Amino acid sequence: MGIKQFFSSNTLISGTYNQLRKLKRKIKKKQRYLWRNAKYTFANRSKGRDKMCVLLAGYKPFLYYISFERLNKFLDADIDMCVATSGMYSSEIAKYCEEHGWSYLSTERNNVSLVQNLAIDLHPKAEYIYKIDEDIFVTENSFSTLMETLKFVEAEGKYKPNFVAPLLPINGYCHLRVLEKLGLTEKYEQLFEKPKYAAGVDRMIESNPEAAKFFWGEGGFIPHIDDLNRKFQADRLSYTVCPIRFSIGFILFRRKIWCDMEGFEVGRTGSAMGLDELILCKLAMEKSLAIIISENCVAGHLSFGHQNTAMKKYFEEHPERFELQIEQ
C-alpha cells in the first residue's frame, strides 16, 4: 500500500488528509493566476484580430537584423504581432515595434510563462495563438501553412490537435523527418550518429554544434532554408504526429488549449524556462491531444543551449546561410 492510499483510507486521519489535499489544490490554483498581478509595460497596437503571435525576445539581439526582418516580410496581415521581453525592457525592440506597428510587452519579472500568459490575456479576441522564440527564422507562408494544417486536421477528425508546428531541422523529432525526406539518413549517421526520433542533450542534434551546422548547410547536403521550404511547400498538404517531447520554438494552438490548462504554470520563483514546453507536451499525453507537424512548412532554428556559443560565431561568419534567399 502506498503512502497516499494509506492516508486516504485510514479513517482516523483521512478527513485531515483530504482537507490538506484540497488546500494544496487551492493554493496551486491561486499561484497559477499570480501573473495577473505582475508589473509590466505594454505598448498596445493590436487591431483586435482573431489571430495573434507572441515573439519571445530580448536576449539574442545579434539575430534580429535577419530574424526580425524575416518576420516582418512573412507575417500575414491578419495577425496581431506582440513582441514580449521577459524580465527586461529593450529600447531597440520598442523602436522596431513602433516602426512596424507591432505591440511590445515587457515584464519586470523574468518568467517566460508569465509573459506569455500576459500576452495572450492582453489579446482577448485572439482565438489562434502563434508562439515563436527569438532564434527562429520564419519562411514564406509559414503562418498560413500552419493554420491550413490545423484546420485540415480538425476537419479530418482523426486527431484532436494540441498544437501544430513546422519542420524545424534542429529538433529531436524533425531532424529525422528532414533527413528521411531528403534521403540523407545514412550520411548523417556516417558523420554523427544513427538518427532517432529522440530529444535531449544525449543526442547530437541538441548538443553537437557540428550537427547544427550540418542542418544549416555546412557540407552542402542540406539546401538553404528558403529552398527547403519551397521544396516541401510544393508537395501535397500532409502532416505527421510527433510521438515524443517536442521543442516548441514555433507553434500554433487554439486559445481553448491555453484556457483549458488555466494558462502556463508560473510559480513563485524562477524563470520557468522550458516549463511551457513540459506542460504542453504533458497535456498531449493526459488529454489525448496530438502534436501535429506540418510536412509542408520548414522554419529555421539556430541551435540548442549546448550549441549556442559555437552557433553564434557561425551565424556571424556565415550570415548568408540565414538571410532571406529569393527564388531565382
| Segment 72-116, tens digit of pLDDT | 999 999 999 999 999 999 999 999 999 999 999 999 999 999 999
- The Cα–Cα gap between 94 and 89 comes to 8
Of the ranges 29-33, 69-73, 231-235, which one carries the lowest mean pLDDT score?
29-33
CATH architecture of 37-169+225-321: Alpha-Beta Complex (3.90)
Determine the average pLDDT of the residues in 125-147. 98
Q: Break the chain into its structural domains and give their ranges.
A: 37-169+225-321
Determine the average pLDDT of the residues in 162-175. 98
Determine the average pLDDT of the residues in 22-45. 71
Q: Angle formed by the axes of helices 64-74 and 91-100, to 10°?
A: 20
82 within 8 A of 123, measured Cβ to Cβ: yes
Q: Phi and psi dihedrals of 133, rounded to 5?
A: -85, 160
Tell me what pLDDT residue 273 has. 66
Tell me what pLDDT residue 18 has. 63
Query: How long a stretch of residues is the chain?
Result: 328
Please state, in angstroms and as integers, the Cα–Cα distance from residue 293 to each residue in 2, 26, 105, 124, 211, following that order: 40, 36, 29, 27, 21
Cell numbers linked to 224: 538553404
- The Cα–Cα gap between 216 and 208 comes to 13
Q: Phi and psi dihedrals of 50, rounded to 5?
A: -90, 0
Please write the tens of the pLDDT for every residue from 143-161. 999 999 999 999 999 999 9
224 within 8 A of 76, measured Cβ to Cβ: no
- The Cα–Cα gap between 326 and 328 comes to 6
